[in-house]
Structure 1
Amino acid sequence: MRCLSKFLPAACLAVALAFPALAQAQQASQPTAAAVASAKELLTLKHAGAIYANAIPGMVERTKTTLLQANLNYQKDLNEVALIVAKSLAGREKEIGDGMAKIYASHFTEQELKDLVTFYKSALGQKLITEEPKAIEASMKYMNEWAQQFADVVNGEFRAEMRKRGKEI
């Protein structure tokens, strides 16, 4: 207990001295309004809104479906209420875009975001926006085909090693 009483004041002092530094570090990591604006522009150029465009209708539909499972007698009412709820919450998906912009602005400097906006407005940036989804889809298809073929190789290796042990599988 004596040891703790000697240590406690020193620990309190260390924490008290660290608090201003922690507050400054947290404040420094807060993105500027200009950085957030550049991030929003970047996300608009990259058509990021397509990712969450149907967030509200999708959530309303999922909730309605869940409620219907427990309340089959209320199907008509729940269908009508779903329309009301979707209408009253329309536009809230903007919150996702705002949050994404803040995240981007916390990972990139304001100047980096401006440079990215400039790039995505360029001919090459526009081509990247158009062609990258196609390249990613083709890459995923290739990886799946490769994995299927490689699985056969791995299976063959297992079987060969097991045969060496006198065990057929």
Structure 2
Amino acid sequence: MVFSQTLRGGLFAAVTLVGLAVSPALAQEISPSHLAAAREAVDAIDTSEQFDQILLNAATQIKAELIVNNPDLQSKISEMVDDSAIALAPRRADLENEIARVYAKMFTEQELREISQFYNSEAGRKLIKQGPQATREMMAAADVWTNGIVRDLRDSAMKGMQKLAPATAAAPAKSK
């Protein structure tokens, strides 16, 4: 899940910055079918899943802030903030639409359909599910490889230094 979230998160962050810089006039150029394809792709990739906790976290933070100054009103504050949060929940659709618009600006309608088709396939769903584990194992392998490369490069450089300046060549520093 980390791989897919990281991949999707990075892609989302990049496309969001692009999307914020685009004027509303450009947003009107997206056809309904193109936007629908973008929504399908966004849903298939689970792109907006990372934003599921925003409202809940905001409500929790605001409750804590208010309760600190009014501990005697804790239950009333919690109820009031929860009611307000529930009233704001439908605005999540606005975010979904904006994410779809960002994707629609970056990809053609056909590309979005292909993305959706892939991520709805068995292989695509497996990539989303197994991607985090693959990323962890890939990073572990890269760490081992990096340590070996650094060790071997250091050894080679120290041998080279002994040839260049035998009297001044320092002993190799021990790596941690």
TM-score by length of 2: 0.60
CA distance in 2, matches of 1:116, 1:148: 31
Q: Once the 2 structures are TM-superposed, how far is the Cα of residue 68 of structure 1 from its aligned partner?
A: 4.8
Alignment partner, residue 52 of structure 1: 51
Q: How many residues align?
A: 139
Q: TM-score, normalised by structure 1?
A: 0.62
The residue number in structure 2 matching 1:71 is: 69
Higher deviation after alignment, 42-51 or 132-141: 42-51
Query: 2: CA distance between counterparts of 1:142 and 1:54?
Result: 28
Q: Percent identity?
A: 19
CA distance in 2, matches of 1:83, 1:43: 28
Which structure is richer in relative contact order (CA contacts within 8 A, separation 6 or more)?
A: 2
Q: CA deviation at 1:95?
A: 1.4
Gaps of 5+ in 2: 1-24, 160-168
Larger radius of gyration: 1
Q: Aligned ranges for residues 20-169 of structure 1 at < 5 Å?
A: 27=26, 30-65=29-64, 67-68=65-66, 71=69, 73=71, 74-117=73-116, 119-120=117-118, 125-153=120-148, 156-157=151-152, 160=155, 164-166=169-171, 168-169=173-174
* RMSD across aligned positions (CA): 3.3
Q: Distance in 1 between matches of 2:30 and 2:96?
A: 15
Q: Structure 1 pair 30/70, CA: closer, same or farther in 2 (3 Å)?
A: farther
Q: Is the 8 A contact 1:56 1:86 kept in 2?
A: yes
Task: Report the CA distance shift for 1:114/1:158 in structure 2 as closer, same or farther (over 3 A).
Answer: closer
Could you tell me which runs of 5 or more consecutive residues in structure 1 were left unpaired when the two chains were aligned.
Answer: 1-25
